């Protein structure tokens, strides 16, 4: 009864994952619970029968245990997702949008259950979503600065790979032009005064962009490792997580 009461109150401190896992594994079937639907409590003696009797009167008991397990795994183990056989991060929005098969819950999605039975810091959630949305365009802004708005028309479809390729080409061009200016225009002071500051500034901007791109790649690698999403690009990871958290936020607000 203590475990059931703790699940009902969402107070899971000290409850082991193994115990919750056993509860889910051996949870009574609908047929078993039906046998105890109208049984008086005083007639139920054995522990296994008590569970059936309680479960028959608590429709969300199993999902509460499953959600408690999921939350504990995510909070305590950064590689928890790797243990979910067949799970892919890209499928997260679809999983959250999955609906129940029974008529009385046919419109209820998994994300709605999370919103209803798991406590979230809504302010922190909104801050994370806002940061993710900004991150989707942050490195593109750096590219715009470095290339003087050359890619404005395509800015929303540019990927990190595109930025790296453009950065490499830009830096090569600037280096080549500076070398040519130094070797061929050394005696022309007006030419040096007109272009040398510009090229030096461009080289500094290019070096800064390269540093930013290296930081982004490091972030991408960390996220791939943490989320067990080795084949997903940074843009895809950000997009999927943003979509999933936005779904959760919208469900909480309903």
CA terminus-to-terminus distance, the chain: 32
What DSSP element (H or E) covers 236? helix 234-253
What are the structure tokens assigned to 107, written together? 């419109």
Q: How far apart are CA 239 and CA 233, in angstroms?
A: 10
Q: How far apart are CA 67 and CA 73, in angstroms?
A: 10
What are the structure tokens assigned to 137, written together? 């365009």
Task: Give per-residue pLDDT as tens, 209-251.
Answer: 999 999 999 999 998 888 888 888 888 898 899 999 999 999 9
Range 179-199 average pLDDT: 81
Whether residue 206 has pLDDT greater than 80: yes
| pLDDT for residue 102 | 64
Q: Which of 60-74, 132-146, 183-197, 236-250 shows the lowest mean pLDDT across its residues?
A: 132-146
User: Do 66 and 24 touch, CB atoms closer than 8 A?
Assistant: yes
pTM of the model: 0.54
* 3-state helix, strand and coil shares in percent for the chain, rounded to the nearest 5: 75, 0, 25
The distance of Cα 10 from the centroid of its chain, to the nearest Å, equals: 24
Any bridge partners for residue 47, and if so which?
none
For residue 219, what are the contacts with CB-CB under 8 A and spacing of at least 6? 234
What are the structure tokens assigned to 198, written together? 């510009």
Q: Which of 31-35, 134-138, 168-172, 241-245 shows the lowest mean pLDDT across its residues?
A: 134-138
Whether residue 116 has pLDDT greater than 50: yes
DSSP code of residue 27: P
Whether residue 132 has pLDDT greater than 90: no
Q: Which of 178-187, 195-204, 217-226, 239-248 shows the lowest mean pLDDT across its residues?
A: 178-187
């Amino acid at each position: 009864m203590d475990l059931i009461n703790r699940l009902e109150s969402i107070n899971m401190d000290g409850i082991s994952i193994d115990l919750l896992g056993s509860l889910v594994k051996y949870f009574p079937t609908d047929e078993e619970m039906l046998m105890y639907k109208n049984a008086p409590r005083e007639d139920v003696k054995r522990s296994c029968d008590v569970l059936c009797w309680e479960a028959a009167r608590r429709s969300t008991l199993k999902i509460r245990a499953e959600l408690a397990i999921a939350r504990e795994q995510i909070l305590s183990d950064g590689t928890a997702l790797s243990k979910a056989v067949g799970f892919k991060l890209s499928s997260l929005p679809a999983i959250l949008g999955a609906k129940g098969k029974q008529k009385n819950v046919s419109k209820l999605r998994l994300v709605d259950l999370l919103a209803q039975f798991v406590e979230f810091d809504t302010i922190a959630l909104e801050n994370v979503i806002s940061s993710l949305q900004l991150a989707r365009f942050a490195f593109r802004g750096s590219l715009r600065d470095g290339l003087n708005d050359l890619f404005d028309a395509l800015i929303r479809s540019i990927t990190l790979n595109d930025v790296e390729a453009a950065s490499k080409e830009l830096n090569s061009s600037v280096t080549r032009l500076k070398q040519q200016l130094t070797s061929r225009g050394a005696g022309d002071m007006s030419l040096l005064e007109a272009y040398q500051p510009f090229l030096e500034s461009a080289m500094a901007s290019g070096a800064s962009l390269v540093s930013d791109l290296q930081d982004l790649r490091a972030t991408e690698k960390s996220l791939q490792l943490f989320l067990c999403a080795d084949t997903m690009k940074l843009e895809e990871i950000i997009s999927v997580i943003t979509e999933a958290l936005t779904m959760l936020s919208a469900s909480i607000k309903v």
